[in-house]
Structure 1
């Protein structure tokens, strides 16, 4: 077979081949790695996806450079696992180029991994293992439906979780904007409340046909009253605001699981240590805090702690489980014991005076130099002479809860954190 060649057609073919080669080298049919987020696309990305995990980094940061390729690999794995649009995206922000985004999300160390659910930042940063597999496993866990279905109102889910804060939704079916809003609200607050749903004819007596009802059931130990949502049941924002106020009470229980999150808030702890089966003192503590100390919630975290699980702080205070219940302050520098039996915490003014003595420095001063001669709000714990050897001076117990704060060994800290 004869082949005909002309210079003109040869040039055209050469140009075509070069075009194909360049296109092959620079064209990527799929966007791989984490999505680069900027001020121009951040809000759209957050509004159009159920969950967004963001790596806030700086190119000059060694830890950021180590995490970068791992995070990109995890993004590819997540995209393959959840290919549906609008579900989950892994993004990254160059904080040197996007300083306004770094400020908006209160970034103080690099790299920081934040999770945004339905447009709302999660309270905890990701601090798990930094591997692509671990990040994928974390995302998989986040995407599990947090709503558990009830079989009846005698379901063990209710009886076995009587001490938890529970949101119950009654729906005809799961098909509809009302249930979708309920589910998305649950993903935002699943760490704070147990979300349950009653579906179909078995629960028709608890709500009118074609009308969903959502209620709050408080823990049996707090003495709180239940409540029902009265707003737009299809609005995630309205439902999340209502449920959030009930799921995150002013008095919270500290556990080893949430201690890191609580320490990061940077506020001193006013803690009631109680026996595991002691509901009476927990209810009394809740009552006095809500009655007298609401104005202090910007200055202190009000917590209850299982004295059996947190025996170590008790030991630092010179106490044991046989001394429960008792009240103490952890300032993240020292621990101070309430100078009265816990049974007296309901007396008007006593707990508030205890907090005022912390703010004024009186608790610290009395621990070092003995009690003031004019007032005796805080009784020092005699555990050894201070280094100045002043008569009556003591060394206060060191904070134990600050040791539960996150390690700083994997971050580059900004100047305001040093």
Structure 2
């Protein structure tokens, strides 16, 4: 079943919303004097066939972010034309070449596609949208998956010139037989992670010795027969990190090491980097700032905290001028900037420094104390909740309204089957389901004190609640069955998800099959329908009797009138 999917932190949609309009200055089309090639439907296929590696930008002249990308795209094309002339950058104006853009499934602008010498070998560009990022990404496409420099000069050039992290595999002259699988694992991971990291493998005393002289922070082990793996961050040879010995090395452990170590101690979250942070399982510490000067004042502090708590939390700066609305998602006031908040994404918990105490922004001391209290488990989460429903509201509708303050109490009642709709007020599918959900609740008498099946709903965008699963789309329909197995992390029952057609018949069938109390929904529905028919018949009889009585009264009145 298809439904709208969203990032757990909702930042992805926020960034997308900002991107939808974008700046209005500048030209989306590349400088005509640059090395960017303008392609049309007439020459697109032949150009792709003639060139082994092409980055194609599908754009519209009115698109704000196309206008931002235009100059960067031109600059990157000119640089590559000098350093790597076989790499070509091209533009396709989708307002002129509609059919060509439709053929390649272009649904938004700008769309960047990497094409390897054939229209059958097209993949999405996943690098940064700056000249430097484009050049670095495209050059990486020309290199072996794992580079194996044979000279000290070649190794130096890779490490010093790289704009991305480099993971170096140090292979001893004699590899322990059981550890030879590690070398294969390194190659496998390199194929899947090459867009984020450069992979290098070295061996030989001279190269290894030179590598040790170049870096610091990662002390290699001597006289080992195990391959060793070191992350070297760009422009930071003095801050390398060694992966502790593991035999055998697994793809999962190597990827985890890479994903943790490539993130800066204090990074910047924006359109180009947010997926890096969203894919990390670690909590995020957000520092919202208005100006570069505000960010610069805390840079040293967050770099220190990031290094101290490496692998436990990611610290990021967020430009409040562009993305200040994200503060609301963290239950913070977006009008009071700078601010600092921590989000524990896995548990949907949010913590923030009291903005009333720091209306001009938290001090460095306050930030350090707050982070220490977070790791000492001294902080109280900021819980967002609507008001509890009043008795009158409960009586007025059969659907039970859940909010942040009552969600756990109702869902933890193991004597009842609780069927919950997690929804968003703007969700079209949720609006379509609403009357059917109310009809379902009426069948089960959900708001009656003796109801065994509770039909409930909660606005997930307005209430913070803990669930034993990730809510990745709306509506999410979940049954917590009576006397079901308890999830240790949340204390809630293990859920059963509804994933069929959202019709009342299907919902009742699902409950018939899965409720712990074994309530027969079909019987309840039939009884309700008969009750309604009976009620309607009685009402009709009452109306007829009332009409007859009115006629009699009218007749009596007339007779009385005649007598007078």
| Same fold, judged at TM 0.5 (above) | no
Q: Higher relative contact order at CA 8 Å, sep ≥6: structure 1 or structure 2?
A: 1
**Structure 1 length normalisation: TM-score?**
0.38
Return the index of the structure with the highest Cα Rg.
2
